[in-house]
Amino acid sequence: MKKNEISILGAGLIGSLLSIYFKKRGLDVTIFEKRADNRQQEYKEEGRSINMALSDRGWRALDKIGLKEKIMPLAIPMYGRKIHDEHGKTSFIPYGKENQAIYSISRGKFNRILIDEAEKAGVNLAFAHRCEDVDLRSNTLTFFHNNGIKNVTSEVIIGADGAYSSLRMAMQKQVRFNYRQEYITHGYKELTIPATVNGEFALDPNALHIWPRGKFMLIALPNPDKSFTCTLFLPFEGTKVCFEKINDKDDVAAIFKTYFDDAYQLMPNLTEEFLANPTSALINIECYPWVQGKSLLIGDASHAMVPFYGQGMNCGFEDVFVLDSLIDKLGTNVWELVFAKFQKQRKPDTDAICQLALENFVEMRDAVSDPKFLIRKKIEAKLHALYPNDWIPLYTMVTFSTMPYAEAYAQGKLQEQIMDKVMANPLITQNWDKLDYEDIIDQLDAAKAV
Amino acid sequence: MKKNEISILGAGLIGSLLSIYFKKRGLDVTIFEKRADNRQQEYKEEGRSINMALSDRGWRALDKIGLKEKIMPLAIPMYGRKIHDEHGKTSFIPYGKENQAIYSISRGKFNRILIDEAEKAGVNLAFAHRCEDVDLRSNTLTFFHNNGIKNVTSEVIIGADGAYSSLRMAMQKQVRFNYRQEYITHGYKELTIPATVNGEFALDPNALHIWPRGKFMLIALPNPDKSFTCTLFLPFEGTKVCFEKINDKDDVAAIFKTYFDDAYQLMPNLTEEFLANPTSALINIECYPWVQGKSLLIGDASHAMVPFYGQGMNCGFEDVFVLDSLIDKLGTNVWELVFAKFQKQRKPDTDAICQLALENFVEMRDAVSDPKFLIRKKIEAKLHALYPNDWIPLYTMVTFSTMPYAEAYAQGKLQEQIMDKVMANPLITQNWDKLDYEDIIDQLDAAKAV
């Protein structure tokens, strides 16, 4: 039985990127992927979103190995949220300063490029290897491959195999492994707004479109082919508008006409798509430890999050970047030490972003439709413009900086308390531009000092 | 492939009891147990406690199928807690009224009798069947048996296979299965106080002995052979007194001489036992749903709890009783309905007792050593004596009643708030007997009305 130096489970975005990082250090790396090599085919997978939103943390990880320029042409910048009310009226809320954007990118295309790059770099690719078991004492991987069983031992095992990780499943049977998987009450369904008959985008392509409706919402992200991928988030059951109660074409049309009429006009294939496409669930996973000897969980395998902060992939890429920075310092001869430091440093940050992702769902589907929310964002933008180092809006800290998520979370909570007080002023809508901004910063400094 | 009517995974206490209940209805029942049939041998198993404490909920479940009289002679009543301070001084805190007791019983002996009874009743026993997988669509169980694989399909599958349940592991991979396993910071080690040279109990056999030391504790339960089984609960690491820092005979002796000297004098084999016996971890498990079609989780498989309320087995037995009561009403032709009602009714109760078990650890290791705790218990006992239907101490509701755990929890929290106020009186130690007890009951009624 051959012994691999490094075995990575999963040729998804995180596993592929990590393999390139390792290979650049001259390590012998093999990726085992349960799917067949389908790089020549159209990407299609149930239960995972089609579009991703790349932001600063993701770009930094691509940049360190020289892939940023290669990926940029595939990505469409979105400079803010475009909110659609029930009458089709829209308003725009910028994400950050001018030129700050998150980038819509197709998961499938992006993943194919990363696998190609890994292959070019010399990573061994083992497709159609379904991991059945991991023996953590001997670091032996058992795969189902070519209708038979295949065992591989490995010096180091990295589980980049996502929310249903085989490595984590093996770790879960170990004593003192804490684990939590929780599905939220909402599911989602992907739909399409195609390009217009003139071959143009049907909506402004440089925004993330949101139809916030309180307990539910629709969003849309642009694609290079001038279509939009829409995602409808609804409760599975138990409310007036929920997946359980949408059973035929009439139900679909009625819901869309009532709540999303402007989008409905742009969706000629809506009812067919709705009934054909799966309804998927949304999971949050937290666990600890991530390490067992020389085995490590990374990305969704250790911290799958709901998609509402657009940080799942960015956080996974930052995992890779942080791990690599530790290897820069400590080298490749002390894996246990590197992994131990990695999980200790990284766990508070992934806990923070998992929590923020859960909280941001309420903001997206509900708060953004409140006129006061827009005022609040304007006040925060002005504070940031006046005091760029003292007041950084939470969204900016998460999306347009590489500040540790846990720090962003803590500072965000302080700022939130102060903003709640500011917004309690009954005349805030008229007065927001004439506030004593210096006093607000003083309040923040005082809160930080506690 | 033969199709079983009912397959129960696990021949532990819960699985064996449930099989007898089913058999009494004339159902065809098979229990699959991963261990060999070791009823002829001395019971010995790592990581599970040797003694259990049977209380009312457990007795009720035994009584319904006529086993109470058979089990009673094996059990030793414990009427209260005997607290040992650091100087060896003891005080006694009754659990309830005179004659109310919890009953110390050996897990091994008890389990053997239940398996014997199941066998006598006509339950099929399949030992040495390790469940490798459960296919929830076809209700097929895959076992490792006699060095080979064996498949069994079954109309109904019950997972009574404990904290590491195979059935739950299969359910965990289903979409929308919420799951949480969490280890507490403390572990435990079992030790022995043997009978004296005269063949007598070395301590009062009719009490549960506790040596509370703040962050850690020792307890002792009596056995019919006049020994006591002691359990030491310590943090694994990170504090002055923890398992990680006890590495040799000198360490063991030093800890016991310092903190448990009166017990130490009664433990001639302490250091050998300490170093030979395993240190075990303590897990809390919560999950939902418990049901997938005609498969059901029961007992620890669905709600493993820490042992500090002595309710793990009692709660599992009550699961059986509640399930059987639903079958009384609905019959054996509508398993999905029975199981759906069971989980809906039972989940709030098992959540409540899991939470109470976690909270009671603090009481046992810390609060009981506070002189005010004794006063508090006396006030509550007096309230209960004066107003037996209005004020029932939480411990009594949990242990000496069959009130749903969730109700006990809710009423317990109201009582706790009122008692906190009562105990804030600086003269309470002197005045406790002269309180306005009627006013306290009025406060509780007012709190309940909110």
B446 secondary structure, DSSP code: H
| Chain segment B413-439, per-residue pLDDT in tens | 999 999 999 999 999 999 999 999 999
Minimal Cα–Cα distance from B128 to chain A, Å? 20
Q: Could you give the dihedral angle defined by the CA atoms of residues B288, B293, B294 and B295, in that order, rounded to the nearest 10 degrees?
A: -40
- List, as own/partner pairs, every contact residues A375-382 make where C-beta atoms lie below 8 angstroms and the sequence separation is at least 24, other chains included: A375/A423, A375/A428, A375/A429, A375/A432, A376/A419, A376/A423, A377/A93, A378/A432, A379/A419, A379/A422, A379/A432, A379/A435, A380/A415, A380/A419, A381/A94, A381/A97, A382/A433, A382/A437
Q: Are strands B130-135 and B140-145 parallel, antiparallel or unpaired?
A: antiparallel
Do residues B249 and B275 touch, judged by C-beta distance below 8 A? yes
Distance between start and end Cα atoms, chain A: 59
Give the burial string for B63-91 (b: 16+ CB within 10 Å, else e).
ebbebeeebeeebbbbbbbbbbeeeeebe
Average pLDDT over residues B132-161: 96
Q: How far is A123 from chain B (nearest CA, A)?
A: 30
- Is A376 in contact with A363 (CB distance < 8 Å)? no
Q: What is the DSSP letter of A43?
A: P
Q: Give the neighbor-by-neighbor strand order of the sheet with A51-54.
A: A51-54, A102-106, A76-78
Q: How far is CA B156 from CA A421, B31, B178, in A?
A: 58, 12, 22
Listed by number, the residues of chain A in 172-191 with a beta carbon closer than 8 Å to a beta carbon of chain B are 172-173, 175-183
Q: What is the pLDDT of residues A122-154, one digit of tens each?
A: 999 999 999 999 999 999 999 999 999 999 999
Q: Is residue A44 less than 8 Å (CB to CB) from chain B?
A: no
Distance between CA atoms of residues A214 and B23, nearest Å: 52
B164 and A173 within 8 Å at the Cβ level: the answer is yes
Report the chain B residue with the minimal C-alpha distance to residue A283: B176
Share of chain A above pLDDT 90, in %: 92
Contacts of A172 in chain B (CB under 8 A): 181
> Does the distance separating the beta carbons of B179 and A181 come in below 8 Å?
yes
* Contact assignment for A179 to B175 by CB distance below 8 Å: no
Q: In the predicted model, is pLDDT for residue A45 greater than 90?
A: no
Q: Do B180 and A180 touch (CB under 8 A)?
A: yes
- Enumerate the residues of chain A whose CB falls inside 8 A of the CB of residue B164: 173
pLDDT tens across B282-318, in order?
Answer: 999 999 999 999 999 999 999 999 999 999 999 999 9
Backbone angles phi, psi at A72, to 5 degrees: -50, -40
Check residue A425 and give its pLDDT: 92
Q: Which residue has the tokens 């809160």?
A: A447
* CB contact at 8 A, A76 and A203: no
With an 8 Å Cβ cutoff, is B144 touching chain A? Answer: no
Give me the numbers of helices (H) and strands (E) for chain B, helices first please. Answer: 16, 18
Contact between A180 and B177 using a beta-carbon 8 Å cutoff: no
Q: Confirm or reject contact between A238 and chain B (CB < 8 A).
A: no
Residues of A236-266 as b/e, b for ≥16 C-beta within 10 angstroms?
Answer: beeeeebbeebeeeeebeebbeebbebbbeb
Q: What is the pLDDT of residue B46?
A: 44
Question: What pLDDT digit, counting tens, does each position of A269-290 carry?
Answer: 999 999 999 999 999 999 999 9
Look up residue B278 and give its amino acid: P
What is the spatial distance between Cα A170 and Cα A309, in angstroms, rounded to a whole number?
Answer: 30
**Backbone phi and psi for residue A96, each to the nearest 5 degrees, phi listed first:** -155, -140
Within 8 A of A177 by CB-CB distance, chain B residues are 181, 183
Q: How far apart are CA B194 and CA B102, in angstroms?
A: 22
Of the candidates B175, B180, B281, which has its C-beta nearest A281's C-beta?
B175
Instruction: Answer whether A43 touches B (CB < 8 Å).
Output: no
The whole-number pLDDT of residue A47 equals 47
Mean pLDDT of B331-353: 97
pLDDT mean over A89-106:
95
> Which homologous superfamily does the CATH classification assign to the domain defined by B3-44+107-182+284-361?
FAD/NAD(P)-binding domain (3.50.50.60)
A49-53, A127-131, B335-339: least confident range = A49-53
Round to whole Å and give the CA distance between B113 and A67: 68
Report whether pLDDT(A82) > 50.
yes
Amino acid at B377: K
To the nearest whole Å, the CA of A344 is away from the closest chain B CA by 15
Query: How confident is the model at residue A341, as a pLDDT?
Result: 98
Task: Report pLDDT for B51.
Answer: 87
- Judged by CB atoms closer than 8 Å, whether chains meet at A181 and B172 is answered as yes
| DSSP SS3 for A91 | strand
Q: Which residue of B has its CA nearest to A282?
A: B176
Of B173, B176, B179, the CB nearest to A281: B176
Q: Indicate the residue type of A371.
A: P
What phi and psi values does residue A104 have, to the nearest 5 degrees? Answer: -75, 130
Who's near A201: CB < 8 A, 6+ residues apart? A195, A222, A226, A228
Q: How far is B8 from chain A (nearest CA, A)?
A: 22
State the DSSP code for B42.
P
| Residue A18, number of CB atoms within 10 A of its CB | 30
Please report where in the chains the tokens 């508008």 appear, as a residue.
A241
* pLDDT tens, position by position, A384-429: 999 999 999 999 999 999 999 999 999 999 999 999 999 999 999 9
Q: What is the pLDDT of residue B47?
A: 47
Say which residues have a Cβ less than 8 Å from residue A136's Cβ, sequence separation at least 6: A170, A171, A174, A292, A293, A295
Write out chain B residues lying below 8 Å of A34, CB-based. Answer: none
Nearest CA in chain A to B170: A169
Q: Are B32 and B131 in contact (CB under 8 A)?
A: yes
The shares of helix, strand and coil residues in chain B, as percent rounded to the nearest 5, are 45, 25, 30
Provide the pLDDT for residue A1.
54
Note whether B142 contacts A: Cβ–Cβ < 8 A. no
Q: Please, what CATH class does the domain formed by A3-74+107-182+282-361 belong to?
A: alpha beta
* Residues from chain A contacting residue B172 (CB–CB below 8 Å): 181
Count of beta carbons in the 10 Å neighbourhood of residue B424: 8
Q: Do A179 and B177 touch (CB under 8 A)?
A: no
Would you call B180 and A176 a contact, using CB atoms and an 8 Å cutoff? no
Residue whose pair of structure tokens reads 């991928």 in the numeric block: A229
Please give the share of chain B, as a percent, with pLDDT higher than 70.
Answer: 98
Position A214 scores a pLDDT of: 93
Mutation choice for B interface testing from A34, A172, A176 by most B CBs within 10 A: A176
Per the CB < 8 A criterion, the answer to whether A306 and A184 are in contact is yes
- Report the chain A residue with the minimal C-alpha distance to residue B169: A169
How many CB atoms neighbour CB A30 within 10 A?
A: 19
Residue A3 scores a pLDDT above 90:
no
Q: How confident is the model at residue B337 (pLDDT cuts 50, 70, 90)?
A: very high
Residues from chain B that touch A182, judged by Cβ atoms under 8 A, are 178-180
* Chain A: residue whose CA lies nearest to B47: A175
Q: Please give the average per-residue pLDDT across A222-231, as a whole number.
A: 96
Q: How much is the average pLDDT of A359-367?
A: 89
Of A176, A181, A236, the CB nearest to B281: A176
Distance from CA of A253 to the nearest CA of B (A): 27
Residue A251 dihedral angles phi and psi, to the nearest 5°: -60, -45
Q: How far apart are CA B275 and CA B273, in angstroms?
A: 5
Mean pLDDT of B212-223: 96
Rounded mean pLDDT of B98-120?
96
Q: Please judge whether B172 and A182 are an interchain contact, meaning their C-beta atoms are less than 8 angstroms apart.
A: no
- Interface size, chain A vs chain B, as Cβ–Cβ contacts under 8 Å: 37
Q: Give the per-residue pLDDT at B48.
A: 56
Phi, psi of A336 (to 5 degrees): -60, -45
Task: Kindly report, as residue ranges, where domains of CATH 3.50.50.60 are found in chain B.
Answer: 3-44+107-182+284-361
Rounded CA separation A19/A117 (Å): 10
pLDDT at A46: 44
Asked if residue B301 lies in contact with residue B162, where contact means CB atoms within 8 angstroms, the answer is yes
- Give the closest of A173, A175, A181 to B178, CB-based: A181
Q: What's the pLDDT tens digit per position in B26-78?
A: 999 999 999 999 888 765 544 456 889 999 999 999 999 999 999 999 999 99
